[in-house]
């Protein structure tokens, strides 16, 4: 049971960007920083990557001006499509740190 709490705690500062408006994710990032987190991971896949970059920049330039981009990791996830074929999807993980 203690392990479950640790995995939840580790994912606490991760923002998974999807189809919602950018400001919803910006609010989530600002909230994480206000809760005392020193780092926030902004993750996205596929078409949401540009929105994740927007979220990072809006957060950094407008709301948490002392935050810096600590690390950017790009990669590829292989997912299974509807027909059973393998599809490669690009991923990004942007780490903002205070």
Q: What percent of the chain has pLDDT over 70?
A: 89
Closest CA to 73 of 30, 43, 37, 28: 43
Spell out the domains of the chain, with CATH numbers in brackets: 2-97 (3.30.110.20)
Query: If 0-12 CB within 10 Å is exposed, 13-18 middle and 19+ buried, where does residue 25 land?
Result: buried
- What tens digit of pLDDT does each residue of 57-85 get? 999 999 999 999 999 999 999 999 888 89
pTM: 0.85
Q: By the 8 A CB rule, do 22 and 58 touch?
A: yes
Rounded CA gap, 70 and 45, in Å? Answer: 19
């Amino acid at each position: 049971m203690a392990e479950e709490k640790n995995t939840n705690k580790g994912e606490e500062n991760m923002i998974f960007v999807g189809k919602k408006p950018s400001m919803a994710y910006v609010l989530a990032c600002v909230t994480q920083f206000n809760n005392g987190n020193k780092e926030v991971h902004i993750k996205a896949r596929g078409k949401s990557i540009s929105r994740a970059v927007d979220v990072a920049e809006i957060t950094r330039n407008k709301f948490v001006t002392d935050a810096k981009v600590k690390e950017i990791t790009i990669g590829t996830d292989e997912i299974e499509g509807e027909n059973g074929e393998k599809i490669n999807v690009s991923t990004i993980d942007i780490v903002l740190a205070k």
